[in-house]
Each structure stands twice: as structure tokens, then as C-alpha cells.
Structure 1
Amino acid sequence: MGRELTSDDEIRGLLHATREIAVLGIKPETHATQPAFYVSKYMQDAGYKIIPVPVYYPEVTEILGAPVFRDLREIDSELDMVNVFRRPNDIDKHIDEIIAAKPRSVWFQLGIRNEAAANSFIDAGINVVQDRCLLVEHKALMR
């Protein structure tokens, strides 16, 4: 059974256990000033493997030097985390895809909460973090 992680210790433990992060809704380098790109770049620079899963930009085949996937279910490795850059209402259309990919955790970026989706992930045994910036939390907790 998964759970929602809220304490600094829980989030620190999650960050320590995470190596690969699939970024759902990542933006390409042409949008470098937007969080959906620079948070992923920061995490890559911090040593995490980033797997780009953009929702738009059909012409883009590579982001941050890694091949683009169009569906989380196409990724052939075990995912530690899916970092979500989607509006709260847009997450619903990805619930089945995320559950099928079986990540250990799902992280909703700052400003993103979706209780129904979070509960679906928790019921599927996936830990959830909501409404927190991965970059900010990493900087604060992983010194």
C-alpha cells in the first residue's frame, strides 16, 4: 500500500532512494526558463537519470540528451519516480498509464493537487507527494 509523503524525513528518504525520474509533461530546451524544463535539468545535474515524457512537442525526439518517450508504459526500466508537470485536471487522463508503469512514487509539482488521482496511486501501492517543487525540496533536504 502506498501513502502520501508529507514530512521532510519521508521526502528525504524518497530522494535518497530515487535514481530514475520520468518527467511527464517535460518541456524541451526551447522552454528553458519554464519549470517543466529547468527542474528536470537541475535534477539531472544533481545526478538523477531523467527520462523525458513530453505531452506536446511531437517534433522533439530528445530532451536533456535522452530519447523522448510518448507513454510511460513504453519505458523498459523500473521507474523510481514520475514527476508530473500537468494541470491538476489533466492528471486524470494519465492515471491508468502511471499505474501501469508501476513507479515507486509520483511527485506532483508545486501548485498541483489531485486527491482522486493521488488516492488511485496510493491504492495501487505507489507513494505520492503533492504540491511541492522537486528542485526546492532537493536543495533544502539533500545538502
Structure 2
Amino acid sequence: MPVEHPEMIRQILSDVRTIALVGASEKPHRPSHEVMAYLQGRGYRVIPVNPRLAGRTLLGETVYPDLAAIPESVDMADLFLAPERTDRVIDAAIACRIPVIWMQVGVINHTGAGRAEAAGLKVVMDRCPKQEIPRLGIPPVAA
């Protein structure tokens, strides 16, 4: 069952430091771009993932084509994808041993969430960290 309890969400957002944002957009008006900038402003390291933009720089970070290409450890994969496109990314997150999968508002994949949870990952579904951080009063990440 995906994480829904506020205390568990608070714990996840307090523990996470490095986030892979899958489906990152270079367009400032897109929600993924806004959320990436917001999370960076809160002290998180956000690594953009988008095969179309791979190798470019977005908000000061190199864009990677997929999770496996990221050369460092990631605490959470934040998915800005249509639900039908999440299975491959969920499987990659499991393979990369990323401890948390966060699916944005409207991104629901119960089967994929079940696979991730069976592999020991925490899953948050149909929520946005940009909304949850102020709602739960989570302080900025300490440097």
C-alpha cells in the first residue's frame, strides 16, 4: 500500500537529500520545472532525467537520459510521467536501489507500486512534494 500517512510522508521528505526528477522539462511554465526549482530552493539536490534533454543543463544540473545513467546515489525518484509510462522507470528505480518512488498528482500505478514495495522501496502516489512540504511544515534541507 503506498505511503499516505502524513507522518510517513514527513519522514520521507525530511530524510531525502537527492532527488531524480523523471520527466523534467526545460519549459518554465511546466509543473515539473516549477517543482524542480521549488525543491532546489528548499535545499534538495534535484537531478533532472529526460532522454530528450540528456547532456544539457537544466537549472544548473546535468540532465540524464535515465535513472541508471546518474553517476551518484539518489534517495528518491519523483515521476512526472503518464501512469502508463511509469512501469519501466519503477523497474529501473528498483534495479538502482532508489529507496523512494514518488508519483506526482494524477500519476497512479498500483501494480508498479506493489512491485516496488515488494522490493523494499517506499512509494508515495498521487501527491506533490511542493504541496506536501508546506502542508506538513517541513523545514528546508540543512546543507
Residue in 1 aligned with 2:44? 48
* Equivalent AA in structure 2 for residue 52 of structure 1: P
Secondary structure at the aligned position of 1:52 is classed as strand
Residue in 2 aligned with 1:137? 132
* Structure 1 unaligned residues grouped into runs of 5+: none
Secondary structure at the aligned position of 1:86 is classed as coil
Secondary structure at the aligned position of 1:82 is classed as strand
Q: Deviations over 1:45-104 (max 9, x none)?
A: 00000011014335x611110111111112222211000000001112323222112111
Q: Percent identity?
A: 33
Runs of 4+ deviating beyond 6 Å: none
Residue in 2 aligned with 1:88? 83
Residue in 1 aligned with 2:10? 12
Secondary structure at the aligned position of 1:4 is classed as coil
Secondary structure at the aligned position of 2:134 is classed as helix
The TM-score with structure 1 as length reference comes to 0.90
* Equivalent AA in structure 2 for residue 37 of structure 1: H
- Partners of 2:135 and 2:87 in 1: how far apart? 30
What is the CA RMSD across the aligned residues, in angstroms? 1.4
- Partners of 2:128 and 2:84 in 1: how far apart? 18
Residue in 2 aligned with 1:77? 72
Q: Which of 115, 123, 126 matches 2:118?
A: 123
Q: Which of 83, 94, 97 matches 1:99?
A: 94
Answer whether contact 1:43 1:135 (CA < 8 A) is retained: yes
Give the stretch that moved more between structures: 38-47 or 88-97.
88-97
- Partners of 1:52 and 1:26 in 2: how far apart? 5
Answer whether contact 1:22 1:52 (CA < 8 A) is retained: yes
- Partners of 2:67 and 2:53 in 1: how far apart? 16
1:36 aligns with 2:6: no
- Partners of 2:115 and 2:48 in 1: how far apart? 23
The TM-score with structure 2 as length reference comes to 0.90
* Equivalent AA in structure 1 for residue 95 of structure 2: A
Q: Deviations over 1:1-50 (max 9, x none)?
A: xx62111100000011000000011111xx11111110111000000000
Aligned residue pair count? 138
Secondary structure at the aligned position of 2:21 is classed as strand
